[in-house]
Amino acid sequence: MPKVGVVLSGSGVYDGSEIHEAVITMLALDRAGVEKIMMAPDIDQLHVINHLTGKEMEGEGRNVLVEAARIARGDIKSISDVSENDIDALIFPGGFGVAKNLSDYAMSGPNCTVNPEVAKLTQAVHKAQKPIGVMCIAPTMMAKILRMENLSSDLTIGSDKQTADDINEMGSNHIVCPVRETVVDKKRKIVSTPAYMEAKNMTEAAAGIEKLVQEVLDLI
């Protein structure tokens, strides 16, 4: 049975993982009969957003791993305890936590840095020629991780010009892609889909995410 790592960045679209994307990914993997290895870095969130008002909750702090455990129903590991030998593929749901907690793309754009544990595992999985799936805003982080190794890939976040330009500036090749479709770089074994960068509802997001999961599994 294949084992697929799913990296979460908290719980909630504005400061952590996009919950719909995470759950759709988990459901697609479960339906495929794949063992999920849920993980997240054991670090503090950048900040906490009130998802009712959209405003920052001043003075409140949360832990990425603890918050991600809500989505994983407690069955989750610290990413530092997972190696490329434990998994056959890696998938990153989106959400602003990718750009705030796993990286600082939300603040620094193309000059962003990536959490060292996240970068280490992703690089190791890629070096082992195991497939990686990235959705929503996560392709920006993937472009940066590849740039750190002087590599590039075909990637998509949909059609947002500024984000697409940033991916290109980081050395990868952005391809405009409809929400229900994916971009597959067979050479790099990297699959991406816009998800909620373009989706207007769960059905649209699920179409692309389910396709991404299947294409990642086909590349194993």
For 81, the 3-state DSSP assignment is: helix
Q: In the chain, what is the greatest distance between 2 CA atoms, to the nearest angstrom?
A: 46
Beta strands 35-40 and 3-7: pairing type?
parallel
Residue 220, token pair as written in the block: 């194993």
User: Nearest 5°: CA angle at 37, between 103 and 6?
Assistant: 35
Is the distance from CB of 120 to CB of 76 less than 8 angstroms?
Answer: no
Q: Which one is catalytic: 38, 48, 136, 179?
A: 136
Phi, psi of 7 (to 5 degrees): -95, 120
Catalytic site includes residue 136: yes
User: How many C-beta atoms surround the C-beta of residue 218 within 10 A?
Assistant: 10
Angle formed by the axes of helices 116-127 and 138-148, to 10°? Answer: 70
Residues designated catalytic: 136
